[in-house]
A and B are shown apart, each in its own frame.
Chain A
């Protein structure tokens, strides 16, 4: 009986996995209920980004002057060792995912306030926990896009946040 149950579960799982590759109502319904990410999406690099995102923040000081922009998680050098051990890649991927989602939300509805969305809150929470100027009262972040190693295009501002209080 356990064997039959296992076979049935594997068959259902594979059937739902095929369904999850499509972008239709049934697939979206299945994926929206998949809290444990059991259904894979194998669409690697179908719509690759050909540019880099940079997350930067700056502080507002009590005399209304602004501290310089500082970059969080700047890209590092690719070394041979990173083919085996690369803990930073997960942080960079998380940053890439959140920024990409913010851009998608902005494209979908330019009027939608982003400050209460998950990607915005994720970035804001992270920015607030960074090192700030001792007298900073509030902070602001921005996302800048650059073109890559061999592209001459100028950095382009993608998104600039509101000012947020820095908790002390």
Chain B
């Protein structure tokens, strides 16, 4: 028997940790949000999708500097209030509404610099909002299943595109990535250098694990834990080696939902 409340707390707790770190990192980059910064709203709002549109004008009220700092502060407060709200069952939809609104506004803020962890956080918070809005058992289960399916879609797609990518066919893609200063690590690059067999095995291992990941939803507890355990290790290693820290929280947040939905499927 799995407790829906505990699963919701697990999902929300993990994604909230990641979103809080991400929000604090945005605030640490406050200079880049100014007019001359890398995330200048004056430049971003001139893109064709926003220039002269009502959306551009409305979003500008929140996203222009220094208003963006207020938006980030509001997001931080909402994130800190989310777990106590879920635990007490009060104002959850309202708080999630603020989190979702600030999340999508940040997505509008810059066409550059966003990554997969931002995308997954958008999915998780959006689904939780749609679940808590009616707040019925059925809607909450549907939200958790949405999160589980989205996680399986993400890994399977990532694996599939690597299978058809010529970059991964050669078998040295992992070395190529870890050899860069942008996403790599000199010690790991040195370790893989001159070990083409190991590099090929690790490269194809990543592809195979991503492709097989949806099995976690079919197998559930306990066998599905093999895939979830791989995911935890994979994202922790990526955080350490590649510095992409927020992927860990956004993606591992979906794992309690996967176990829960697998259990729902069985029962």
Q: A13-B146, A91-B32, A149-B186 are in contact. Are A42 and B181 (CB under 8 A)?
A: no
Question: Judging by beta carbons under 8 Å apart, are B179 and A150 in contact?
Answer: yes
- Asked whether, in the complex, the Cβ of B50 is within 8 Å of the Cβ of A35, the reply is yes
Decide if B38 touches A46 in the complex (CB within 8 Å): no
| Chain A contacts with B in 115-133, Cβ cutoff 8 A | 118-119, 121-122, 125-126, 128-129
B128 to nearest A CB, angstroms?
11
Q: Which B residues lie within 8 Å of A101 (CB)?
A: 112
Chain B interface size band reads 35 or more
| B196-236 interface (Cβ within 8 A of A) | 236
Shortest distance between the CB of B190 and any CB in chain A (Å): 7
> In the complex, what distance in Å separates the CA atom of A149 from the CA atom of B240?
17
Instruction: Tell me the interface secondary structure of chain B in the complex.
Output: helix
> In the complex, what distance in Å separates the CA atom of A148 from the CA atom of B123?
34
Give CA–CA (A7, B136) in the complex, Å.
Answer: 11
**Which listed residue, B40, B153, B186, B241, touches A42 by the CB 8 Å rule?**
B153
Do the beta carbons of A40 and B150 come within 8 Å of each other?
A: yes
Q: Given the known A-B contacts A36-B104, A148-B181, are A122 and B127 also in contact in the complex, defined by CB atoms under 8 Å?
A: no
Q: With A42-B153, A45-B162, A148-B189 as given contacts, are A85 and B245 in contact (CB-CB < 8 Å)?
A: yes
Query: Contact between B150 and A14 (Cβ–Cβ < 8 Å)?
Result: yes
CB atoms of A75 and B177 under 8 A apart: no
B43 and A93 contacting across the interface, CB-CB below 8 Å: no
The stretch of A61-69, A76-84, A103-111, A157-165 in contact with B is A76-84
Instruction: Specify which chain A residues have a CB less than 8 angstroms from the CB of B24 in the assembled complex.
Output: 87
Interface residues of chain A, those whose CB is within 8 Å of chain B, are: 2-3, 5-7, 9-10, 13-14, 17-18, 21, 32, 35-38, 40-53, 75, 78, 80, 82-87, 89-98, 101, 118-119, 121-122, 125-126, 128-129, 146-151
A-B pairs with beta carbons under 8 Å apart, 30 shown: A3-B134, A3-B138, A7-B139, A7-B142, A21-B153, A21-B157, A35-B50, A36-B108, A37-B108, A37-B119, A40-B116, A40-B119, A40-B122, A40-B123, A42-B116, A46-B161, A46-B167, A47-B167, A48-B173, A49-B182, A52-B180, A84-B245, A85-B25, A85-B245, A87-B24, A93-B115, A94-B39, A121-B43, A126-B38, A150-B179
- B residues whose Cβ falls under 8 Å from a Cβ of A: 21, 24-26, 28-29, 32, 34-40, 42-44, 46-47, 49-50, 55, 104, 107-108, 110-116, 118-120, 122-123, 126-127, 130-131, 133-134, 136, 138-139, 142-143, 146, 149-150, 153-155, 157-158, 161-162, 165, 167-168, 173, 176-177, 179-186, 189-190, 193, 236, 239-241, 243-245
